[in-house]
């Protein structure tokens, strides 16, 4: 067993199966129980309401959802932000619009569509995938 500092609280612990200490695991489990109980009593709650009522951070609630521990299937108002635009989604990491935009940008990049290399922003002023690749050094303009 190797010793490590817990990334959540900084305490030294024996790193094994889990990457955080047992005290932090207990705290997370208590937070999960609070969320689960609240959602059972209030199935129409939103993620913001759940967070404010249970004092569990939205990012922790999102983690419970993405891990499959909290089901949003039975909670029609529950959703979490898209990683790209911040719009509310009920599954995956990005919304359909962002996914479609990414697919189009990648197709344009690899097809060599004229103008795609120099078009750095979309109509909303966001950087496109080509600019991101240039900035990260994967591609030269």
From CA 38, how far away is CA 54, in angstroms rounded? 8
- The answer to the question of residue 105 being in a domain is yes
Q: Are residues 128 and 105 in the same domain?
A: yes
Q: Are residues 58 and 112 in the same domain?
A: no
From CA 31, how far away is CA 63, in angstroms rounded? 12
Per-residue pLDDT tens for 6-64? 999 999 988 888 889 999 999 999 999 999 999 999 999 999 999 999 999 998 998 89
Q: Are residues 67 and 42 in the same domain?
A: yes
Domain of residue 105: give its range. 96-135
Q: Are residues 19 and 43 in the same domain?
A: yes
Both structure tokens of 31: 């937070």
pLDDT score for 116 = 46
Lowest mean pLDDT among 9-13, 54-58, 74-78, 128-132: 128-132
Q: Are residues 69 and 36 in the same domain?
A: yes
Per-residue pLDDT tens for 92-112? 888 999 999 999 888 888 775
Sign of CA dihedral 115, 118, 122, 127: positive
What is the pLDDT confidence band of residue 126, given thresholds at 50, 70 and 90?
A: low
Residue 30: its H or E element: helix 22-41
- The answer to the question of residue 120 being in a domain is yes
**Distances 78 to 47, 52, 60, 61, 86 between C-alpha atoms, Å:** 6, 14, 14, 10, 14
Q: Are residues 9 and 52 in the same domain?
A: yes
pLDDT score for 71 = 84
Total number of domains constituting the chain:
2
pLDDT score for 35 = 96
Q: Out of 68-77, 93-102, 116-125, 128-137, give the one with best mean pLDDT.
A: 93-102
């Amino acid at each position: 067993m190797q010793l490590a500092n817990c990334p959540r609280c900084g305490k030294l612990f024996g790193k094994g199966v889990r990457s955080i200490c047992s005290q932090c695991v207990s705290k997370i489990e208590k937070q999960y129980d609070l969320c689960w109980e609240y959602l059972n009593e209030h199935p129409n709650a939103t993620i913001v309401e759940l967070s404010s009522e249970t004092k569990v951070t939205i990012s922790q609630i999102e983690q419970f959802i993405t891990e499959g521990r909290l089901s949003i299937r039975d909670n029609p108002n529950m959703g979490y932000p898209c990683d790209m635009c911040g719009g509310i989604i009920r599954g995956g990491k990005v919304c359909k619009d962002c996914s479609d935009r990414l697919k189009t940008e990648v197709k344009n990049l690899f097809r060599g569509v004229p103008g795609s290399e120099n078009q750095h922003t979309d109509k909303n002023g966001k950087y496109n995938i080509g600019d991101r690749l240039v900035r990260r050094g994967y591609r030269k303009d």
